[in-house]
Amino acid sequence: MISAVSRRRALRGLAGIAGAVGLAELVSRTGLVDQTLIPPISVVLQRAGGLFTDPEFTDGVVATLEGWATGLLLAVAAGVLLGLLLGEVRWLGTAARPIVEFCRTLSPVSLIPLAIVLFPVTFQMKVFLTCFAAVWPILINTLYALRDVDPVAKETLRSFGFGPLAVLWRVSLPAAAPFITTGIRIAASVGLIVIVSSELLAGDGTGIGGYIMTTQSSGGHTDLMLAAALWTGILGMLVNSGLVQLERRAFRWHDRKAAA
Amino acid sequence: MTRRLFARSWLVVLVIAAWELVTRAAQESYFPPPSKILPALRQLWFDGPPSHLFLNDTAVDDFSASLGHLFAGWLLACAVGVIVGVAIGRSAPVREMVEPVLEFMRAVPTPTLVPFFIVLFHLSATMQIMTIAFGIVWPVILNTADGVRGVDPLQIDTARVFGIGPVGRLFTVILPSAMPKIFAGLRVSLGFALILMVIAELVGSTEGLGAQLINAEHSFELPTLWAVIVVLGLLGFLFNGALLLIERHFLAWHTGARRSES
């Protein structure tokens, strides 16, 4: 029953993708738009296939992934630790709230020019920006999650003589983990946007963003630019669905508890 | 009241004071103290006559360009997104067909498309507006569709029994009950629009807040650079707060209705 429903869903999804691709092809082929500006999607897909074996592009992907992963890992460590501190120490949390809110709404791309001036090494610049962009969703989710931890469970452990650190480690952190993971997933997609943006402006041609900028300045091949954007989207989707899978597997107990 | 205000603001004051003291002591040109950033801000935008709210000509040009593009792109994306979202949210087969495509479009980081938009529209207001609108239309569509899908079928049937036509049902039942989800989408997308506005101006523009950032970077005017960042941060803070207020004002009945149900 369930498999029939999900199969129908998958079939409809495939039909939708086929329809969208067909429509895009038609719009370009029939001359509705200028083909040299908006190439037919079949050409873009062909270019995307070609990029897979183009070392200039694959090196860029590796560089982007390295910066992204490093920035994200640092943000997870900083975000969870800060979240625990501000969530458990109430007076500090209240006082830090306006600062956190300000930093969270500060768009990280506005820091790109400053970061370029501050960090002569592009890799450090990218890691800093990714980390800054990624830390806030993780921190905020940690804070919210800690607020919802069952007080009875905490009191129970406390009355059995466990210290505050043990309560944190055995009750608060496990209970908050699923929501923190959701924060990490949001942070990952924001991080990808920011790292690619910083590469567009770094001016040294590294990373996916650097590749796109080089392509633009060397003749403006829109088919290659779109193919690179396509790969970035696929990359983002892969990481996102990977983290969703991880959430489902690691926190199966959480879903069951929430359903009960 | 004053105690609460103190509990919320002492750290802010402390951080700014520490920033001032440390940066003054360090004399590092990369990190100017706030007492240097504020005059730079004044010189850049706010040394105009009081009758113009102290805004000078540069400020009028920069803010009207940036905010004009921002709101044009946002409104365009909101209009298209809500209409398309309602259309696909009402029908399960249609939704299942288009959802994978929409999810993919959302996953493509819009900044990767800025160079493409520059080739397409050159360095123009159209390029800025299209970048913003294209980047945020997907979350608006998906949130609206999600909200419309969650409408209680009993309410729709009730309206039908009372002889309310499809258009009437849309405006009296479906849209109001999908409003909280739609609003959440609009608020998130406004924050995202600000990011896209800045990146579009950084990569390709000679006017606006982003262009001022690039100018300050190239001429190595660190206090000005910091000043623009502070203004951009305040803008984001303000937009988010304003939409939260509007949301609370317009959706007060909704929270009330939900509470009385449970």
The domain segmentation of chain A, as residue ranges, is 41-259
- Is the domain defined by A41-259 classed in CATH 1.10.3720.10? yes
Q: Which residues, 6 or more positions from B226, have their beta carbon under 8 angstroms from its beta carbon?
A: A114, B32, B37, B40
Structure tokens at A100: 């956190």
Q: What are the extents of the domains in chain B?
A: 57-250
> pLDDT tens across A144-194, in order?
888 888 888 888 888 888 888 888 888 888 888 888 998 999 899 899 999
Contact B147, B89 (CB under 8 A): yes
Q: What percent of chain A has pLDDT over 70?
A: 96
> pLDDT tens across B201-247, in order?
998 877 888 899 998 988 888 999 999 999 998 888 888 888 888 88
Scanning A175-234 for CB atoms below 8 A from B yields: 189, 192-193, 196-197, 200-201, 208-209, 212-213, 215-216, 220, 222, 225-226, 228-230, 232-234
> pLDDT tens across A74-90, in order?
999 999 999 999 988 88
pLDDT band at A259 (very low <50, low <70, confident <90, very high): very low
pLDDT band at A65 (very low <50, low <70, confident <90, very high): very high
Q: What is the pTM of this model?
A: 0.86
A156 touches B at CB < 8 Å: no
Give the model's pLDDT for residue B117.
92
What angle, 0 to 180 degrees and rounded to 10, lies between the N-to-C axes of helices B125-149 and B92-107?
140
Nearest CB to A107: which of B116, B119, B194?
B194
B214: nearest CA in chain A? A113
Architecture, CATH, for domain B57-250: Orthogonal Bundle (1.10)
Q: Answer yes or no: do B120 and A237 touch at CB < 8 A.
A: no
Contact B90, A9 (CB under 8 A): no
Q: Cα(A222)–Cα(B155) distance, rounded to whole angstroms?
A: 49
Q: Answer yes or no: do B233 and A110 touch at CB < 8 A.
A: yes
A210: nearest CA in chain B? B112
